[in-house]
Amino acid sequence: MSKVLMKGNEAIAEAAIRAGCRYFFGYPITPQNEIPAYMAKRMPETGGCFIQAESEVSAINMVYGAAGAGARVMTSSSSPGISLKQEGISYMAAAELPCVIVNMVRGGPGLGGIQPAQSDYFQATKGGGHGDYHLVVLAPSTIQEAADLVIEGFDIADQYRNPVMILGDGILGQMMEPVEFRFSNRRELPPKTWATTGHTGERPRNIINSLIIDPQALEDHVNRIYQKYGHIMKNEVKVECCNCDNADIIVAAYGTTSRIVKSVIYLARQEGIDVGLIRPITLWPFPANEFSRWADRQHVKAFLTVEMSTGQMVEDVRLGVNGKKPVFFYGRTGGMVPEPSAILEEIKKVMRSVMK
């Protein structure tokens, strides 16, 4: 299979189809419109179904229906649209329905802007809807990784019966890079015996439900889901460490921002500062242990979290570092992208303050 040059949005859509996704329900919003546009063209060619719903609320409930029937299904949107989907996402987590949800984040709050941002980190990782639940949140930094994670994301969703979110941003969606659709690490997945596929009198009927009136029964249900989350936290953490072995400072960044930081590592080296990068690939489960491990190392003087937000992931970095080293923050927001020179300045500032 040779490489093709594709936009991030289109590569994500194609990866979903290759992963067996045959249902897509969505509603347009910049900067992810290429996903529904691509699906509208490709789904009929594969015998699948594309529907542009009348709203995001409607789209996510169509996802609920298709997932309940055992199908591989996806929806995509950008920040304000993802807010509208939150009720449905909470219902899906409660009813243990697998699906993949793509959020190509744009500047917020409110209707905000259309330029790239990472200001939906809290919403994605801390349960954007109501109730006790988590999404598995995957944050690709390249288009190749986005395609890989979409394919694996469907497997993760099916394995744990839980919604999976791909958290990107406008840059990842709009840019083009070479991509190859590959199926490494396919998982053995349990059959979907719980799906409402029509029992034809041969088995007890399956019920997909998120209303559990009896508080004891609901607590038991939530606790069982949390046991599942325990397995996810143990088995599904993904993280990339780059240049950390002798680093004076470790920068924490994910997605597009982590790529900018990789450029900064090179700039900093020219100024005699050794900068490492810890890049969480799963934002939930968060690679807290990785931060704890590096915080124990003597050569690491401090951590600097860089985000396209006013500081969201930095809270999880602080929990991981757990007071062992100082944690600083630098961010741009509203659709502004941090420049390498500005990040380098922050690194120098941090160096000066910890060397005092």
Partner 1 sequence: MTHQIIIAGFGGQGIMSMGQLLAYAGMLEDKNVSWLPSYGPEMRGGTANCNVIISDDMVASPIITKATAVIAMNKPSLDKFENAVSRGGLLLINSSLIDRKASRDDIEVCYIPANEIAEKLGNSRVANMVMLGSYIAKSNAVSPGSVINSLTKVLGSSKAHFIPINQKALSMGAEYVK
Summarize as ranges the residues that interact with partner 1 (CB under 8 A): 3, 5, 30-31, 114-115, 170-171, 174-178, 256, 259-260, 262-263, 266, 337, 339-341
CB of 31 to partner 1, least distance (A): 6
Distance (Å, whole) CA 106 – CA 315? 21
Strands (E), 109-202: 136-138, 163-169, 176-179
Q: Is there a contact between 168 and 8 (Cβ–Cβ < 8 Å)? A: yes
**Residue 55: CB minimum distance to partner 1, A:** 22
Cβ closer to partner 1: 33 or 206? Answer: 33
Q: How far is the CB of 114 from partner 1 (least distance, A)?
A: 6
Nearer of residues 30 and 196 to partner 1, judged by Cβ:
30
Measured from the CB of residue 12, what is the shortest distance to partner 1 in angstroms? Answer: 16
Residue 238 CB, shortest distance to partner 1, in Å, is 18
Residue 75 bridge partners (DSSP): 101
DSSP letter for 7, please.
E
| Residue placing its CB nearer to partner 1 in the complex, 75 or 258 | 258
Closer to partner 1 by CB, 237 or 337: give it: 337
Could you tell me the smallest distance in angstroms from the CB atom of residue 262 to partner 1?
4
Q: Return the amino acid letter for 260.
A: I
CA distance 261 to 296: 22
Nearer to partner 1, 93 or 146 (CB): 146
Closer by beta carbon to partner 1, 53 or else 336:
336
Of the pair 109, 178, the CB lying nearest partner 1 is at 178
At its nearest, how many Å lie between partner 1 and the CB of residue 299? 23
Kindly tell me which of 245 and 339 has the beta carbon lying closer to partner 1.
339
Nearer to partner 1, 110 or 201 (CB): 110
Q: Which residue is it, tokens 């190749």?
A: 144
CA 356, CA 285: separation in Å to the nearest integer? 35
Instruction: Report d(CA 356, CA 352) in Å as an integer.
Output: 6
Name the strands in the sheet holding 327-331, side by side, starting at the edge strand that comes first in the sequence. 239-242, 275-280, 249-252, 302-307, 327-331
3-state secondary structure of 33: coil
Q: Using CA atoms, how far apart are residues 324 and 238, in angstroms rounded to an integer?
A: 23
Sign for the CA dihedral angle at 192, 12, 281, 255 comes to negative
Where residue 200 falls (left for φ over 0; alpha for ψ -120 to 50; beta otherwise) is left
- CA dist., res. 290 & res. 293, Å (int): 5
Alpha carbon 230 to chain centroid, angstroms: 18
CA distance readout (Å), 322 to 234, 288, 316, 319, 339: 19, 9, 9, 5, 29
CB of 241 to partner 1, least distance (A): 15
**Distance from C-alpha of 61 to C-alpha of 16, rounded to nearest angstrom:** 19
CB of 284 to partner 1, least distance (A): 25
| Nearest distance, CB of residue 245 and partner 1, angstroms | 18
Toward partner 1, which CB reaches closer, 100 or 344? Answer: 344
